[in-house]
Structure 1
Amino acid sequence: MKTMLTTHTGFRFEVRRARPDDEPIVAEFFTHVTPEDLRFRFLGAVKEVSHERLVAMTRSDDPHVHNFLAFSTDGMLIAVATLAADPADRHGEVAICIREDRKHLGVSWEFLGYVARYADDHGIETI
């Protein structure tokens, strides 16, 4: 299912769940992310996103891990998010990364709000 969102700046983008065939576009997305943002997203020094990480972001079989992609209206991948919940699906953590040239448009706040609503709808009490 796709959802169209609009930021406070009027920027429109579409969100959907990640799919296995998204691996190449997710890999390309990370070439447009600053080293600092990579470090914050992966909680460590990462120069290149490995195949294993890309697989985890696009082919997760874990029912407690939810990966989302955000696309601009021209089809460009502009942001990725992961919601990972504990085995009881009561508490979760979110990681979001925004493409460098799409910052300051309100995407991160609107995307985080979408993920928070998704978590709430699926019974995850805190993120």
Structure 2
Amino acid sequence: MNSNPTHLVTRSGLKLSVRPAGAKDEPILQELFHHVSEDDLCFRFLSGLNEIGPQQLRTLLPSTDGNAASFIVFAEDGPPVASGVLVWDKAHGRGEVAISVHADYRNHGIGWTLLSFIANEAETRGLKSIESIESRANVAAIELERDMGFSVTAYPGDPTLTLVSKPLGKPRAE
């Protein structure tokens, strides 16, 4: 994976720099997650967390088994504003996405822009679909994903969750 930052612009015009997270980024991610709302922490980790601990922080850093990528997003003026993780199962051709956005930077198009970026990364890795497990209460994320073409279905075995998924790639002409 290229370690150089990718420059993106949200629909609201906010300029972003996205780069892969590395092992030395733990303090940056910890600081970012001090600014993620309690509701968003609960939605991101599907638990009643009030703050992120070492175990959750490790899930945001690169994996050693080579089946995950983690990204940090910075605003043009420098602060970290979002985190995104893609974990994939190449055998089944799908990836799971999780995104968190700094509370002060919500509603600026960062989630949409980062999800689009990660979908492109997933497609580059040869994945056929991406998905996310969402709390039914996370209406904003589910609506954003619907707007981006994700389908929403019940999550097997847990009525409090939904599975949102989207095929990747261009359909082939028959």
Do these two structures clear the TM 0.5 threshold for a shared fold by scoring above it?
Answer: yes
Alignment pair present for 1:105 and 2:108: yes
Counterpart of 1:21 (choices 20, 24, 30) is 24
Cα distance in 2 between the residues matched to 1:37 and 1:25: 18
**2:79 pairs with one of 76, 79, 82:** 76
Residue 48 (structure 1) shift: 1.9
Higher helix share: 1
Answering whether residue 55 of structure 2 is matched by residue 33 of structure 1, we say: no
Query: What runs of 5+ residues in structure 2 fail to find an aligned partner?
Result: 131-174
Residues 1:89 and 1:118: Cα distance change in structure 2 (over 3 Å):
farther
Q: Which amino acid aligns with 2:17?
A: E
- Identity over aligned residues, as a percent? 36
Q: Pick one of 28, 46, 52 that aligns with 1:49.
A: 52
1:81 aligned counterpart, secondary structure: strand
Compute the RMSD of aligned alpha carbons: 1.2
Q: What TM-score does the superposition give when structure 1 sets the normalisation length?
A: 0.94
Instruction: Work out whether residues 20 and 55 of structure 1, in 8 Å CA contact, stay in contact via their aligned partners in 2.
Output: no
| Stretches (4+) displaced over 3 A | none
2-structure distance, mates of 1:34, 1:40: 10
Alignment gaps of 5+ in structure 1:
none
Is the Cα contact below 8 Å between 2:16 and 2:75 reproduced in 1?
yes
Q: CA deviation at 1:53?
A: 2.1
Number of matched residues?
Answer: 127
Task: Indicate the structure whose relative CO is greater, using CA pairs within 8 Å and at least 6 residues apart.
Answer: 1
Deviations 1:35-56 (A, max 9, x none): 1100110011112211122123
The 3-state SS of whatever aligns with 2:59 is helix
Q: Tell me by how many angstroms 1:89 deviates.
A: 6.0
